[in-house]
Structure 1
């Protein structure tokens, strides 16, 4: 029974991979755009995860994109500031990664406010989704809370802010929902995906057996429900290909990233979603049948160049 229960834990590994993929993108982009500062997420797990270069199963903080993701729609991710918030009676915790990214980016640009104060600008609100389930939404989650001068510096052209918000929302509301139906499209792909997860996660023999086979079966059927819920085509690859090409078309031929010469938060959002498929058949198919590969490789290079080995860079401004 214990082994079976351990196997079922693997059902949560895809959102865990989402968090891992997002953190890889987040550190590079946020550091590159924010005056050389880098956030040491959580309690140090982020730094240790990035140190395992070459492993796609990174451990730590999340950037998985807000919105729902099938039965795993809430990605639990603690946002805890380090020294200056450690003295508070209660640690801040957020469940929406788009809010997390917006809050951190705001803090890195505008050091006039504490991270705790900035988080308060994104109030949680109860709402009922299309399936009648109560969910928590966050106001302003795609906005950076900057003053007029800071806004002008980050978004010298007004339209760039609107564009960034539009495509961040698109990544949350549409792109992320294409992952599970594509990764678990067939029994063979579902088994291959869990084989990869078990191998990279270094499960024990018995635990890995249950995780691989029970997880693959469960996620295959769950992916079919998600396909129906989100009204995907019979061949879900076509939706993935179209989404990738729509993104490339939106960037255009005259700029390397949505953010221009450097990635912005929309680039980060899309990259974070797509990166979870690396090593799987869906990823290879997407690279072959769409035009996204050049942009994707530019993102990898930009993030790699922006990495910071010293995780102590971010300190309170006092």
Structure 2
């Protein structure tokens, strides 16, 4: 029984261990994007190897939570560093990745505001979803809180802001829901997914056994419920293929990214969802049967060249 509990604890902790790597990669891209270029990510084969290893490790985060993408999880780390705030008010923690992206991007563009002040622009609101469950929503989570001059700098063409918000919402409301039904589509694929998690996560023998077999069975049945809930086709691959091609069509043939010459927040959101399938059959099928591969590889290069973020740069000066 103790071994079983240990296995379940490790399975539950897996996303939190791996998501920090995604958070760092994403913020690095945001920093580079805010300057209009990418900063080299180290030099030589060793640095590139570390970047590739970090990318592989990120995959496990979504599996253990049923495909929840997570390039970013919380602003807890930079906020924790400011211990004096904890004495004055309750600790702030954000769990919505879209809010986190918007807040960090706002901070990087508008250094006149503190991170705490920016977070306050995204107040949580309690709501009841279609299943009668109380959830926390952020009505303005796709907005950057910038003044007129800053907005003009980031969005020189007004339509680009609307387009970015539209596709960020699409990634949250539709694309993310295609992941679990696809990576756990069959018992064989579910087992392969958790085998990948165990291998990359370097579990112990007993912990790995429970994570692999118990997790695979659980997620196979959960994926069927998600398929029904989101009204997916019998062959869920078709929904994934269509979504990938819809995204490529929206970008068009005359720009490398939705953001133009550099990725914008919509590029980052879509890439963050899709990369959790790397190393799995669903990912290979998507690359083979859709037109998304060139864009995806351009995103890999952009993130690989982004500078590793220093959390000190995300903290306001004192």
Query: TM tier, shorter chain?
Result: 0.7 to 0.9
Q: Is the 8 A contact 1:107 1:114 kept in 2?
A: yes
Shift in CA distance, 166/189, structure 1 to aligned 2, threshold 3 Å = same
Q: Is the 8 A contact 1:27 1:39 kept in 2?
A: no
Shift of 1:29: 2.0
Q: SS where residue 135 of structure 1 aligns?
A: strand
Q: Tell me the distance in 2 between the aligned counterparts of 1:192 and 1:103.
A: 36
Q: Tell me the distance in 2 between the aligned counterparts of 1:89 and 1:309.
A: 27
Greater CA drift, 57-66 or 276-285: 57-66
Q: Is the 8 A contact 1:64 1:272 kept in 2?
A: no
Q: SS where residue 125 of structure 2 aligns?
A: strand
1:139-163 Cα deviation digits (max 9, x unpaired): 2100000000000000001100000
Aligned length: 318
Consecutive unaligned residues in structure 1, runs of 5 or more: none
TM-score, normalising length from structure 2? Answer: 0.84
Shift in CA distance, 44/285, structure 1 to aligned 2, threshold 3 Å = closer
Shift in CA distance, 41/303, structure 1 to aligned 2, threshold 3 Å = closer
Shift of 1:6: 2.8
Which protein is richer in helix relative to its size? 2
Q: SS where residue 52 of structure 1 aligns?
A: helix
Shift of 1:204: 0.9
Q: Is the 8 A contact 2:127 2:134 kept in 1?
A: yes
Q: Tell me the distance in 1 between the aligned counterparts of 2:48 and 2:87.
A: 24
Shift in CA distance, 37/124, structure 1 to aligned 2, threshold 3 Å = farther
Q: Which residue of 2 aligns with 1:227?
A: 227
Shift of 1:4: 1.6
Shift of 1:27: 2.6
Q: Is the 8 A contact 1:57 1:200 kept in 2?
A: yes
Q: Which residue of 1 aligns with 2:272?
A: 272
Consecutive unaligned residues in structure 2, runs of 5 or more: none
Greater CA drift, 272-281 or 59-68: 59-68
Shift in CA distance, 49/312, structure 1 to aligned 2, threshold 3 Å = farther
Q: Tell me the distance in 2 between the aligned counterparts of 1:83 and 1:61.
A: 28
Greater CA drift, 182-191 or 303-312: 303-312
Q: Is the 8 A contact 2:176 2:273 kept in 1?
A: yes
Q: Which residue of 2 aligns with 1:150?
A: 150
Greater CA drift, 95-104 or 7-16: 7-16
Q: Which residue of 1 aligns with 2:315?
A: 315
Shift in CA distance, 223/100, structure 1 to aligned 2, threshold 3 Å = same
Shift in CA distance, 292/85, structure 1 to aligned 2, threshold 3 Å = farther
Q: Is the 8 A contact 2:271 2:299 kept in 1?
A: yes
Shift of 1:313: 4.3
Q: Is the 8 A contact 1:128 1:135 kept in 2?
A: yes
Q: Is the 8 A contact 1:46 1:60 kept in 2?
A: no
Shift of 1:26: 1.0
Shift in CA distance, 42/108, structure 1 to aligned 2, threshold 3 Å = farther
Q: Which residue of 1 aligns with 2:111?
A: 111
1:96-127 Cα deviation digits (max 9, x unpaired): 11111101110110011111111111010000
Shift of 1:267: 0.1
Shift of 1:239: 0.5
Shift of 1:9: 4.0
Q: Tell me the distance in 2 between the aligned counterparts of 1:264 and 1:283.
A: 23
Greater CA drift, 219-228 or 41-50: 41-50
